[in-house]
Amino acid sequence: MVPQIIAWHDLLLLLEGQQVNLPAPKSHFAKDVTFKSDTPIFCTTKQPLNYVKNGCVDDRETEMMSARWKVLNLTHQMSEDKQREVLPCSRCFAQLILQNDHEN
């Protein structure tokens, strides 16, 4: 499967709450997807997001992106025998994000 990538500029606009039009697979959608307001985004990554142009990191673009993210460093992995399936809870997720706000 080919990874789907959002253009850097579109991702910056999306994180600012600006209107963004993203192409959607026509096999599943009649038209492209349009985001018109703030959309919560949660992602995981092994490395920070860096803008690379001509093989070099563009510090200015990278900083603009970094300023728009709240980073939670999750450094512990639970063993499979200790993992439990829990129901999604938007309140609990919000508390996790807001709690981290107060600790920084």
Token reading at 8: 């850097």
Please provide residue 15's backbone torsions phi and psi, each rounded to the nearest 5 degrees.
Answer: -70, -20
Nearest to 74 by CA among 41, 39, 42: 42
What pLDDT digit, counting tens, does each position of 4-16 carry? 678 889 988 988 8
Please provide residue 103's backbone torsions phi and psi, each rounded to the nearest 5 degrees.
Answer: -85, -20
pLDDT at 70 over 70: yes
Confidence of residue 80 (pLDDT cuts 50, 70, 90): very high
Chain center to CA of 48? 11
Distance of alpha carbon 66 from alpha carbon 40, whole angstroms: 16
What pLDDT digit, counting tens, does each position of 15-66 carry? 888 999 988 888 888 898 888 877 778 888 888 889 999 999 999 999 998 9
Token reading at 87: 């129901």
pTM of the model: 0.64
